[in-house]
Structure 1
Amino acid sequence: MHRPSQRQHGSVAEEDNHNHSEYEGIVIAGGGIGGLATALALYRVGLKCLVLEQGSSLRTTGAALNLWTNAWKELEALGIAEDLRTRHARLLGSRMVCVEDGLDKKVSYRNHEVRCVKRSVLIETLAAALPSGAIRFNSRVVAVLRSSNSDYPTIALEDGTYIKAKVLIGCDGVNSVISRWLGIQPTRLLGRSTSRGLSVYPQGHSFEPRLYINLENGVRVGYIPINDTEVFWFLNRKSVPKDLETARDPKLIIQEALDSLKGFPEEYHDIVLRTQTDSPTLTLLRFRWPWAVLFGRICKGTVTIAGDAMHAMTPHIGQGGCSTLEDAVILGRCLAEGMHGKSIGTKDEEKTRIQTALKKYVTERKWRVFMLMTKSYITGLLQPGSGRFMKFLREKIMAKVFGNALGHAHYDCGSLYATTESF
């Protein structure tokens, strides 16, 4: 069997003379939150799909993420919200302290549903709701191929397998092969790194269910109770050359976090010291400029992208995972609407319906994710401790440009509905 050459990895490849080993209807590249949520949305509306995951098992590494009101609406549409609610405490609000600015700000979440959800639990819950055989492991996508005699893309895997698909959805993260094939401007390093971890209190902790953040000297550190015995912590700071080496060793990640916490309240030290040894991660943050999404080509033919592959953003408003769940529901609904109530018809008619469905998805998502990416980037730029001028911009300009500071979390992208038709 012909194997994809190294030069094809992530490239716009043309291939006329290879043998297609398999044929699938809808293929999703990436088995993270975005890929599994999109697969579940499609399953809920009666559309079969295949998820290609490069790892040998579910990627449950990583600590946790905040899911806001908009995410819980999407989880309800996917049918898994209640299961997750029972395992994660609802947050009452947040408290942010910045000594440099003399800031001690409390915000109530009375009008929002916010919970800190363990990433492993979310991934496993999504996967468990999918039918058997929906996920194929050890399947790393290395290229998208176009044959001169085909209307549909062919996916080349690292093991030499080729899969021809009617629809290809790239949920393959910040370094997406599918995004590169579409010609989207690549992500870039933010210049900051984030350490994260899960801490355990077997006898229970005394923290209120709130998001706590302290900022000092360019370091942003915080923690969030997940439930009665588990706490998620994060530390965001300027990147340094040794981060790549530190990221490989959980013990070094914990030690680096403790070193960065000098001068911070003692409770942060205690939380980090209680970190589960298999949970800490250190990530060099990457982001995509908002205009790359607004003006870029998010779909081509019957290929599109979702999640971080489309809108990799900074973490400052906590909408990365939330917007990914929005993508999944909207994409599932658009594809269902494109097929609902219509006979299969000719190949050209079917292709046209798919393309129309994907264009509708892109139209619905572009402005929304552009605003989220922009707000997230500017919020990080103008965060407390950035200086008096930045403080003036934050207090006088941000509210006028973006309105309610938490207004983005009330977004509702609608529900899913079932259809008996499939590709």
Structure 2
Amino acid sequence: MADRGGKAPAWTSAAAAVDVDAEVVIVGAGIAGLATALALRRLGMGAAGGGVLVLERHAELRSTGAALTIFPNGWFALRALGVAHKLTSRYDAFETSRVTTLETGATQVFRFAGRKSSSGDVRVRPMHRKALLEALAEELPPGTIRFSSKLASIATEKAQGSPEIAVLRLDDGTVIRSKVLIGCDGVHSVVSQWLGLSEPASSGRSAVRGLAVYPDGHGLKKELRQFLSEGLRAGMVPISHTDVYWFLVNNTVPAEQEAGTDPAKILREVTDNLGRHMPAEYLDVARHSDSGNLSWAPLLYRAPWAILRGPAARGAVTVAGDAFHPMTPDMAQGGCSALEDAVVLARALSRAATPADGVASYVAERRGRAAWLVAGAYLSGWVQQGGTNVRGVRGYMVRLFRDWIFYRFLFPRLADAMWFDCGDLVEPNAEGKTHSE
């Protein structure tokens, strides 16, 4: 990567303002951003010329959310990216979810990955979010990620006879010109706003997420435990022998704004108010929380029809991950779908005659699946919650549907969507093998 004076800049948080040329700029060093950068590198893009640059507004890799669960579709993508083995060796798989309805005491047990058989690395595994980010970042050349780089504005310019390029201005005065711009900057994406995509909508629900730490071990069984109550869904799943990821999804209440980002207030609201009737084992997990990994935030999503019809591309500018299709976490597909995006986008760019053609191909391929995942996640969350703010007879009917039909018949079909294989990053060679074989 070269600045406009021909020298390679040292990307540090204190980098001086310079003018930079890049082949591809990715805004955001989250899952989508790092995976896209790695996918492009695997295909040899950016090896010459300006290279691939990832802009991250924070001073280090983010770990908001503490943990996530990777389903088979995520493992197919990670295998294509060449990093699956780094994570499967660290995190155990689990097969079942145990759901207890607190009002009746009834418990249902089902396979969390649907009706298909798991094998090898293609299984459901919860993991630390930061471990995934680091596994991706370690594969990138030094200097790929520019930290403490906040995007201030986006414009375009076009020289006679040349394709339109993106012109980015950072808040430190740096100006970056790029042939391709990919927004991976989350739910409130600056790039998606520039493209004209609709603002994410509220689901009417919020989620507390935390990571409990037991230095001497927790002794919990390797399964997802969930507890349902009117207007609430709580859950916990072991990540390692010392760490347990837990969550509480609630119909949005004023106390969320009052608690803000104060870990003590958030935890007190969970244990003393919202979740006070939860089982003792769940409350014990919550009380073991690491305060640095405790958050409470609204669950947002982009309407499926906005994903299907919205302006997700302009020339060689597009979005991926939450910037494209934010969804509620009820099918654990936010991170997995971002990994899919990365593979599909890099492959489309590598095969197209022009960057704009590659971006258009990517958006066309991803719209339908992304809209389906958003709709499936919303439906799954709404039903499991017993209907958001639905009470009386209607609420009773929703809960009856959930307990007798949804978990037994509908959820396994939704889970089958998690077996999608986004494909590899290279064409088979003469022997019919890919790089991952």
TM-score range, shorter chain: 0.7 to 0.9
Aligned-partner SS, 1:163: strand
Aligned-partner SS, 2:384: coil
Map Cα deviations across residues 192-225 of structure 1 (whole Å, 9 max, x no partner).
2211111122222221111111011211110011
Equivalence for 1:195: 208
Equivalence for 2:179: 166
User: Does 2:313 align with 1:305?
Assistant: no
Structure 2, gaps ≥5 residues long: 1-16, 47-51, 388-394, 429-437
Equivalence for 2:195: 182
Aligned-partner SS, 1:405: helix
Name which of structure 1's ranges 137-146 and 369-378 shifts more when overlaid on structure 2.
137-146
Cα displacement (A) at 1:396: 6.0
Match of 1:227 among 232, 240, 249: 240
Equivalence for 2:397: 389
Distance 1:402 1:368, change over 3 A: farther
Aligned-partner SS, 2:349: helix
Equivalence for 1:120: 130
% identical equivalent positions: 40
Equivalence for 2:62: 59
Equivalent-residue separation in structure 2 for 1:303 and 1:393 (angstroms): 43
Equivalence for 2:414: 405
User: Does 2:117 align with 1:111?
Assistant: yes
Equivalence for 1:365: 366
Structure 1, gaps ≥5 residues long: 1-18, 339-351
Q: What amino acid sits opposite 2:148 in the alignment?
A: N
Map Cα deviations across residues 136-170 of structure 1 (whole Å, 9 max, x no partner).
01111122112364711111212222111000000
Cα displacement (A) at 1:67: 0.7
Map Cα deviations across residues 203-256 of structure 1 (whole Å, 9 max, x no partner).
222211111110112111100110212110011112233423423222222222
Equivalent-residue separation in structure 2 for 1:184 and 1:212 (angstroms): 37
Match of 2:151 among 141, 160, 176: 141
Equivalent-residue separation in structure 1 for 2:72 and 2:43 (angstroms): 23
Equivalent-residue separation in structure 2 for 1:180 and 1:103 (angstroms): 46
User: Does 2:101 align with 1:88?
Assistant: no
The TM-score with structure 1 as length reference comes to 0.86
Distance 1:252 1:372, change over 3 A: same
Distance 1:280 1:402, change over 3 A: closer
Equivalence for 1:42: 40
Superposition map of 1:289-328 within 5 A: 289-328=303-342
Cα displacement (A) at 1:392: 6.1
Name which of structure 1's ranges 110-119 and 321-330 shifts more when overlaid on structure 2.
110-119
Equivalence for 1:12: none
Name which of structure 1's ranges 217-226 and 247-256 shifts more when overlaid on structure 2.
247-256
Q: What amino acid sits opposite 2:417 in the alignment?
A: H
User: Does 2:251 align with 1:238?
Assistant: yes
Q: What amino acid sits opposite 1:414 in the alignment?
A: G
Name which of structure 1's ranges 283-292 and 101-110 shifts more when overlaid on structure 2.
101-110
Map Cα deviations across residues 3-57 of structure 1 (whole Å, 9 max, x no partner).
xxxxxxxxxxxxxxxx982211100001111111111111111112100000111
Given that 1:261 and 1:268 are in contact with CA atoms closer than 8 Å, whether structure 2 keeps it comes out as no
Q: What amino acid sits opposite 2:99 in the alignment?
A: M
Given that 1:399 and 1:405 are in contact with CA atoms closer than 8 Å, whether structure 2 keeps it comes out as no
Map Cα deviations across residues 107-128 of structure 1 (whole Å, 9 max, x no partner).
1247241111101111111111
Equivalence for 1:277: 291
Given that 1:98 and 1:216 are in contact with CA atoms closer than 8 Å, whether structure 2 keeps it comes out as yes
The TM-score with structure 2 as length reference comes to 0.84
Cα displacement (A) at 1:178: 0.7
Q: What amino acid sits opposite 1:390 in the alignment?
A: V
Equivalent-residue separation in structure 1 for 2:105 and 2:271 (angstroms): 24
